[in-house]
Amino acid sequence: MSTVTSITRTPSSGFTDHAPGVLPSPEHPSSRRLSIVTDLPRRSGGPLTATGLPRTVAHEIGVPTVHRTVVDIANFDHGATTPALVAVKEAVDKVSPTYGSVHRGAGFASRITTAWFEEARAEVGRFVGARPGDEVIFTRNTTDALRLLAHALPQDAQVFAWQSAHHAALLPWPAEHTTALRVPGSVQEAADLLRTALTAADPQAPKLVVLTGACNVTGEVWPVRELAFIAAQFGARVVVDGAQLVPHRAVDLDDLGADWIAFSGHKMYAPYGAGALVGRADWLDAAEPYLPAGGATHTVSGDGIQWHTGPARHEGGTPNALGAIAIAAACVTLARHRETVDRHEEALATRLRDGLGQIPGVRIVAALGADRPNVGVVTFTVDGWDSSLVSQVLSDEDGIAVRDGRFCAHLLCDTVVGQSAAAVRASLGLATTPDHVERLIAGVRRLVTSGSALPYRHVPGQGWEAIGDPRDLSQPRPW
C-alpha cells in the first residue's frame, strides 16, 4: 500500500495536500511520458577541464527532470562513490586489451599485466608516503582492508575506536578486546577519552588505535597527528580509515604518525572494485593468510604448507589488476593536480556551507565543532521534511544527487542528528561545479519556501515517488 504524504508547502499556509494524481500546478498537465536521456552533447574533451581540474566521466551525464528538461547531473554524492576520472578510464581502456592473470605467467599478456600491477603497488605506496619495509596490499575496498588488519591482530591485542567511526572501522575488531569510546564533542574531548582509555589498558598487551581520517557524515578532518602522538606515548599502533581523507588531502604515513592506512579506489575516482591497506609488515607477515589460496602459497606438500610473506600472503586468488592500475592512475592524477583540486573543493564547500546555513529551518550537522577543517561534506536536516523526501525531490526537480540516511555511522548520527534520525548529505568533489552548488542552495530554499512541484507518495520498501511524474526512467541493459 502506498500513501500520499503532505509535502507541498507555501510560505503562508504550510503544507498543502493534493489528491492522488492531481498536479499542484498547470505546468505539468500532460500525461505523456518523457524518456530518460543519459548523455548531454559532448564537451571539448581531454583529461582536464578548462580550469585545469582533472575531468571525470560524469561531466557528460544528463538527467531528465519532472519539468521535462534535461540537466547535467549535479553530483553531491562523492562521499559514497566517485565517478571515474577520464585519466583513470583511459588507463583502464589502455590495459584492457593486454589484460592477463598476474604472476607466474610466461605469456606476453601475463608478463605485462604483472609489471603494471607491481608498478601500481609502488605508485599507491608513494601516494600515501609508504616507508621502506611497508607493505601495499590490494583489497576490495576500505572495509576489506580494515577487516584484513583485524584478521592480523595479535591474539591479545587491545583495540580502541570511537563510536563516531564508520561501521567499517568500528565493527571488524574482536568485541571482547575492543574499547568503544563515546562520540566526542571536541578535539580536546577526543584526546582526553583516548588518554584515559590507554592509561587503563594493560601496559604489556599490543594495542591498536583506530582513527578516522575525515568523518563521512560531517566531513570534519580528525586530529590524526595529535591522537597518534598520544597513542605512541602508550606504545599503541595506529591505523587510519583514510576512505574520506585520501581523495581530498595529501597524506604521508610518517607525518600522520600512523602505522597503517586503509582506503578505497571508489572514493578517489577509481571505481573499479579495489582498495588498499598500506603500512607495517610485521603483524601482517605473522598472521595466517587472509585468503588461503593460490598466490598466497609458496609450497604445498604432504608435509604441510609454506606461505609467502609480503603482499602475496594476503592476496590469494587472482587479484583485481585492473582495479589496482585504476587506483594508481588516480593517485598520479590527484597528486599532480593537488593544489588545483584543493582550491576548487575549498571554494565550493565554503559557498555551499554559507548558502545552506542562511536558509531558515536548515541545520548543518557537526561533531567536533564548526571550525574544523572539512573535506567538502555538508550534512543537514530541513525542519518538517523527511530526509529521504528532500533527496528525492532534489533529484527529480533539479537533477541533484545527494544521499540521505544514517551513512553507516548510526551511533554518530544518534548523537549529532538525533536518536534514530536521518539527514541529507551533500559531498562534493571534482564532478561538482559552482553552478551545481548554486542549484543545490536554490533547490533547498525552494523546498522550504514553496514546497515541491509535484505531490509525492511514500511506497513502503521503495521510498518516495512523484505523482504524475512524466519521465520513463527505465533503461535497457548495457549488455
Residues 389, 441, single domain; the answer is yes
Q: How far is CA 315 from the centre of its chain?
A: 23
Number of neighbouring beta carbons within 10 Å of residue 409: 27
- Whether 116 and 265 map to the same domain: the answer is yes
Interval 116-149: pLDDT, tens: 999 999 999 999 999 999 999 999 999 999 999 9
Query: Cα(368)–Cα(205) distance, rounded to whole angstroms?
Result: 30
Residue 129: Cβ-neighbour burial (10 angstroms; 0-12, 13-18, 19+)? middle
Name residues whose C-beta falls within 8 Å of residue 294's C-beta, 6 or more positions apart in sequence: 316, 317
pLDDT for the residue 35:
52
Q: Which of 336, 363, 389 is the last residue of a domain?
A: 336
Q: What angle do CA 444, 446, 449 make, to 5 degrees?
A: 110
Note the pLDDT of residue 45. Answer: 64
Q: Does one domain contain both 196 and 327? A: yes
Statement to judge: residues 174 and 279 lie in one domain:
yes
Q: Could you give the number of structural domains in the chain?
A: 2
pTM over the 0.85 mark: yes
Q: What is the CATH number of the domain that holds 316?
A: 3.40.640.10
Residue 408 among the catalytic residues: yes
Q: Which of 215, 331, 408, 413 is catalytic?
A: 408
Can you list the residues of the chain whose pLDDT is less than 50?
A: 1-32, 36, 38-44
Determine, yes or no, domain membership for 478. no
What's the CATH code of the domain at 371? 3.90.1150.10
Boundary residue ending a domain (336, 358, 390)? 336
| Residues 63, 102 within the same domain | no
